[in-house]
Structures are given as C-alpha cells and as structure tokens.
A = this chain, B = another copy of it.
Amino acid sequence: MTSTKHNGLVDDHLFVIIGGTGDLTRRKLLPALYHLSEQGHLADRCRLLAVARTGDFDDDRYRLWAREALAAADVRIDEAASASCCDRLHFHRLGQGNSADYQALAARIAAIETEHHLPGNRLLNLAIPPGAFPSTIAGLAQAGLTESPGWTRIVVEKPFGSDLASARRLNRLIHQHFDESQTYRIDHYLGKDTVQNLLSFRFSNAIFESLWNRDRVESIQITMAEDIGIEGRGPFYDRVGALRDIVQNHLVQLLCVTAMELPPALEAAFVRDEKAKVLRSIPPLDPENIVFGQYAGGSANGETFSAYLEEDGIPPDSLTETFVAIRLHIDNWRWQGVPFYLRTGKRLPTRATYIVVNFRCPVLTCFEPFTCDIQCNRMVITLQPDEGFDLHFNVKAPRQPFRLERERLRFRYKDAFGDLPDAYETLLLDIMRGEQTFFVRADEVELAWRIFDPLLADPPHVHAYPAATWGPDAANSLLAQGAWYDQPRRT
C-alpha cells in the first residue's frame, strides 16, 4: 500500500476508466494520459482499461477511437508517443452491469494484470453520471474489485451530491467500501497550476503572507465569470443552477485556498485540515448578503443574446439562478471583520476567474498640500485566462504638477513558462502517486453544503440582469465599500 510519491515515476498499476467512451474520457482523461505518457510519467508496465456498458470495440478498435479522440481534442500528437500511449489501452464491454458482468470485469482485470505482470495496483476512475455511482460501486464490491493485492484508489467527479443530505449519502456509500485515503474527489479547479500556485505563492513569499490578514486586507473578492450561456445544457442546468454548479465547489475551494492558515507541511492531511477549518469558521449566511440573478436578453459587440427563459429546454417560469453573489465572513483571528465576496455568473461580459485582494488604504494626509486621488493597493490573481499576478500600486507621474497614477507590477505565467498543463494532467498524476493534497475530502464536501443548504431550502429572489453585463445591480449593494473588480473583456 505504499506509493512512491514525488520521485517522478508512478507505481505499476492498472488505470480503469468506468465510462471509457464518455465525454469526460474523450475530452479530458485521454488527452491528460497521453501527455503524461509523452512526458515519461507512466511506468513502463502501466495499462489502461476503458470500461463501458456498450460499445462495439475490441482493444484495437478502442485504440483507434482513442487516437481520434486525441486528434479531436487538439492534442499535438507525436506519433511514437501516441503509439506508446495507445498501446497501453484495453477495452472491456460491461454490458447491463449485473453481477455476472462485474465478475467478467474482474476476470478481465485479473487477466490483464497477469499478462502484464502488474502487482495489482488499481485506479478506478468513475467517469460516469452521479446517478450511476451506487450501482457501479455495488457491482465493483460484489465482484471483489474494491480490494486488490496492491493499492486500490477510487476517483469520483463532482457533483458530490446536490445538498448536504445527498452528499452524506454519497460519502457513506463510498466509505462502505473505501477508506478516505483511497478516495480522490476531483474538483478540477484544484488541479489548475494557478490554484496550486496560490498556496505556494502565499507560503513562499514572506512579504505577502505578512500582509494576508485583517490588519492589512480590507476585503477579498473571488469572481468566476463566464461569457457563455447554458450552451444546450438546458434541462441539466435548470435542475442545478449556479450555486450548485460553481459556488459550492469551485468558488468554495478557491476561498479555502485563499483564506486558509499555513499548514505545518504541504501534505494532504495538513492542507485539507486547514481548508476544513476555514469552512467551519464561516457563520450561517445572512439572506441579505446573497444575490441571485438570471440573465435576460441583451447584446454586446453587435451580438444579441437570448434570455435564459428563452433557451431550449428551460421552463418559462424557471427560477434557476445563473448568477450568484455572496458576501460572507470567516470568523477567525486572521479574517474577522474582512468581507469575502464570491461571484459567478453566465452571460457576463467576459470569461475570467480571478481573486482580488483589496488592501487597506494608506494615510492620505501625508500628501498634503497636494490633493491626490490615492487608490488602495490591490492584488489581482488571475487564474484564467492569461494567468498571472497584478499588483496595483500608486506611482508618481513624471513632471509637475504632483499627481499619482495607479499602475501595475505584472507577472504573466506564459512569459515565464509558456503554456500551462490542463488540470487533469496534474490531477491524474497525483492520483497515480497517491498524493491527495489537491482532492476534496469528505468533510470538506459536507461542510461546504452545510453553508449553502439553507439557501437551497429557501432560495432568495432571482433578479433579472441583461446578458453581457456584470449581473444585477443588487450585487453591487452587497459591497461594504468600493466596487466589484470587473476584469476587462479581452480583445
């Protein structure tokens, strides 16, 4: 059960994808596995087994399908690397998923392990809708696949429930067969290099860590803006809404990474303990501090957008929120009195995810007799796109009369490092290595739902906002001072 963490290579294992012909596999998992293979991160004997209920594939045909999937995902393919990756692939048709089907899967797994001299390490990636979790886990368990001669790890994707009760049921289901140490819950935001770097940034830069508290920070804003609408996902989205789709998972995780205390070491248990402590310190939300919105029609740059209620598959009286803005507090020594603002929405003016740390203002009187409009320092950490850091500061404009201007100290990842890897690449490699730091622990999921459960039971009024704007006016009234920092639209 040991893993060879941090040594650049992973244990020999069988990577099983349940849902091996699905959308997630095609768009994310296969490209990530290809890149890991290309970079030499996979041990020679690692094999990949795609499992699906249906599909007219044998191994060879699946390998062809996988190559086409890579090409379709715009992966720049090196022929030798592609062959080396795709040759690892196997396919198994599960059928209806009855007991015999899972027995057959177990036999197939054993056969591959024997043929390729694998030690029995298994990674079970459930790339399937959450409704299929119970039957799948039960089937795996009945066939003895929740245990193995080596390590067994299970990977699940969000949503981790749709409220506190369902999240608890899901956790119980998993824990019937797997330890938490075997469980990898993917919130792909935690796999982004920019989010992982947020921790490194805070803890390796003494000057920022010393500013990162209520004495120096006036407020923090976390925005995840999408310019797209629901893109044909109408019936799905209408059941879910922005709170469940974005806030409870992605924004909460960004909040935790931004606000958490320093762990004694960058190890999974320590890091996740600190994140859970942040969630525990959030008092119940005040309904006055929540704004829901739903996009109406609108236009921008010569393009016209339909209202949410006019989209395909949306009931004409839907009250599903496509925009959420929340003001909350973290009642601990570091953050007491500092408002945190979370905001997400569809059909906003741009696509951007960023964290804004507004620092307290300087004493202005020392600039007398000049009257000058000093702006407070602000750190903007952009997670996507154009990832980087912008520290807004005041600088004297040259010449007379005396005048301060706001300028930026800038850093852009792409200037230093080129393109960043996809989150799945990072996360799959972590799973293979048994590194859980950037996966969501069961208690985090439940603590996050605990915050939002009252809102789900008694949702606030939904304000309409014109498409291609920054949401309803009510969102601005949430702010104790200042304004939302709206990232300009990229041109």
> What residues make up the interface of A, taking CB atoms closer than 8 Å to B?
5-6, 8, 39, 41, 193, 196-197, 200-201, 203-211, 216, 262-267, 359-363, 365-370, 372, 374, 376-377, 389, 391, 393-402, 404-405, 407-411, 413, 416-417, 420-421, 425-426, 429
Contact = CB atoms under 8 A, between A and B. Distances in A.
B376 A206 contact: yes
Copies of this chain assembled into the complex? 2
Contacts of A404: 200, 204
Contacts of A366: 203, 262-266
Given A204-B372, A205-B394, A265-B366, 14 more contacts: A193-B396, A193-B399, A203-B362, A204-B393, A206-B360, A206-B362, A206-B376, A262-B363, A263-B366, A264-B366, A266-B370, A267-B369, A395-B416, A409-B411
A216 to B, nearest CB: 6
B370 A398 contact: no
Given A197-B395, A203-B366, A410 B413 contact: no
Contact of A362 (B197, B205, B367, B413): B205
24 contacts: A6-B401, A6-B402, A193-B399, A200-B367, A200-B396, A201-B394, A203-B367, A204-B404, A205-B377, A205-B394, A206-B359, A206-B362, A265-B367, A266-B368, A266-B369, A391-B391, A395-B411, A395-B413, A398-B413, A398-B420, A398-B421, A405-B416, A407-B411, A410-B410
Given A365-B265, A408-B411, A216 B205 contact: no
A196 B370 CA distance: 14
Contacts of A407: 411, 416
A365 B264 CA distance: 7
Contacts of A360: 206
A199 to B, nearest CB: 8
4 closest A-B pairs (Cβ-Cβ)?
Answer: A409-B409, A204-B394, A206-B362, A200-B396
Contact of A211 (B210, B389, B417): B210
Contacts of A400: 8, 41, 426, 429
Contacts of A365: 264-265
Contacts of A267: 368-369
